[in-house]
């Protein structure tokens, strides 16, 4: 990356709100977000956000893609990699005391068993609970499944519990937990962290210990479904089916032969349901 381009990018990110927009979009990468969703999450006015998005696009850090009548903004991961590389390798001269940890974990392969996997949503009462139960039963003993919420409810959703029971899952050990329980010193170190709702992905959580692979597998909140009891139950069943497809594809990945970069790409692909649909 040329110094002029790098200076432009760093200058753009020097504004707290623009940096907040970029950080938020990185949590959803490689997926995009609508300006209304970004503004609501960060508490920004639409006209102010428009200026920030324009500035970030002008320096090449994000790009816009039209989807129907809406624009989706996403991070240009190649540009982000170039900027991080410039800071670490050019400015920092690849000093081992600065980048040794980053270089050591960049593309190592992972073991093929004993993975700790955390699913996060806002309330930890439905989607993340469904995902925890599914991975526990589909994981063939290779995974330790956990779930948590950024603002957990005190009780699990009865539709979710009924759905799990009818599909043969044990529910006695399931309960709502806060994400902070998994960031204590004594908490298990996660290998994978997945957000299954947009609210959780937008939360300003601290970095996870151990540099886990992260993925955004956002799905609409079935708890917000309206209508008759049967119509609500159908929405929960559709959410369960979508999660089952994704988790079934995830557990079949050849973990022992994939480096972290390739594995991250496969996790991102599953988040779009591409790999999950092939598996189905």
Choice among 94-103, 122-131, 160-169, 271-280 with the minimum mean pLDDT: 271-280
The bridge status of strand 70-75 relative to strand 115-121 is unpaired
Do residues 150 and 71 both lie within one domain?
A: no
pLDDT tens sequence across 176-198 = 999 999 988 888 999 999 999 87
User: Which CATH number belongs to the domain containing residue 42 in this structure?
Assistant: 1.10.10.10
Whether 5 sits among the annotated catalytic residues: the reply is no
Question: Which of the following is catalytic: 6, 24, 49, 197?
Answer: 197
pLDDT tens sequence across 60-83 = 999 999 988 889 999 999 999 999
Q: Quick check: is 163 in a domain?
A: yes
Tell me, what's the pLDDT at 200?
A: 61
The bridge status of strand 213-216 relative to strand 192-195 is parallel
Tell me, what's the pLDDT at 75?
A: 95
pTM > 0.85: no
Do residues 149 and 265 both lie within one domain?
A: yes
Question: Which of the following is catalytic: 1, 29, 121, 258?
Answer: 121
**Upper half-sphere CA count for residue 149 (Cβ side, 13 Å):** 19
Do residues 165 and 258 both lie within one domain?
A: yes
Please give the average per-residue pLDDT across 50-69, as a whole number. Answer: 94
Closest CA to 223 of 125, 129, 141, 146: 125
Do residues 251 and 136 both lie within one domain?
A: yes
User: Which CATH number belongs to the domain containing residue 123 in this structure?
Assistant: 3.40.50.2300
Question: Which of the following is catalytic: 5, 42, 205, 233?
Answer: 205
Q: At what angle do helices 3-13 and 77-85 cross, to 10 degrees?
A: 110
- Domain membership of residue 57 as a residue range: 3-78
pLDDT tens sequence across 205-264 = 666 777 789 888 989 999 999 999 999 999 999 999 999 999 999 999 998 888 888 898
Provide the CA 136 distance to its chain's centre, in angstroms.
19
Q: Specify the higher pLDDT residue, 93 or 58.
A: 58
* Structural domain count of the chain: 2
Please give the average per-residue pLDDT across 268-280, as a whole number. Answer: 65
Choice among 8-17, 38-47, 211-220 with the minimum mean pLDDT: 211-220
What is the residue-averaged pLDDT of the chain? Answer: 88
Whether 121 sits among the annotated catalytic residues: the reply is yes
Choice among 87-96, 165-174, 235-244, 245-254 with the minimum mean pLDDT: 87-96
Provide the CA 35 distance to its chain's centre, in angstroms.
19
Do residues 125 and 240 both lie within one domain?
A: yes
């Amino acid at each position: 990356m040329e110094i002029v381009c790098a200076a432009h990018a760093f200058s753009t990110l020097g504004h707290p709100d623009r940096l907040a927009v970029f950080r938020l979009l990185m949590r959803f990468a490689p997926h995009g977000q609508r300006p209304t969703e970004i503004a609501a999450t960060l508490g920004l006015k639409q006209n102010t956000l428009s200026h920030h998005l324009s500035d970030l696009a002008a320096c090449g850090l994000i790009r816009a893609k039209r989807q129907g009548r809406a624009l989706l903004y996403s991070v240009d991961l190649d540009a982000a990699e170039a900027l991080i590389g410039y800071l670490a390798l050019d400015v920092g001269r690849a000093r081992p005391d600065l980048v040794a940890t980053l270089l050591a974990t960049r593309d190592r392969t992972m073991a093929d068993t004993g993975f700790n996997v955390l699913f996060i949503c806002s309330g930890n009462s439905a989607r993340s609970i469904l995902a925890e139960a599914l991975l526990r039963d589909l994981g063939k003993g290779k995974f330790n499944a956990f779930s948590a919420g950024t603002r957990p409810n005190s009780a699990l959703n009865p539709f979710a519990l009924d759905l799990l029971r009818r599909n043969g899952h044990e529910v006695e050990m399931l309960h709502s937990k806060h994400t902070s329980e998994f960031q204590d010193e004594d908490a298990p170190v996660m290998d994978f962290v997945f957000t299954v709702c947009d609210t959780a992905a937008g939360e300003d959580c601290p970095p996870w210990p151990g540099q886990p692979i992260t993925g955004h597998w956002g799905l609409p909140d079935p708890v917000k479904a309206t209508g008759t009891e049967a119509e609500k139950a159908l929405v929960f069943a559709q959410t369960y089916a979508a999660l089952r497809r994704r988790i079934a594809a995830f557990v079949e990945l050849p973990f022992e032969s994939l480096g972290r970069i390739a594995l991250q790409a496969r996790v991102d692909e599953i988040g779009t349901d591409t790999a999950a649909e092939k598996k189905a």
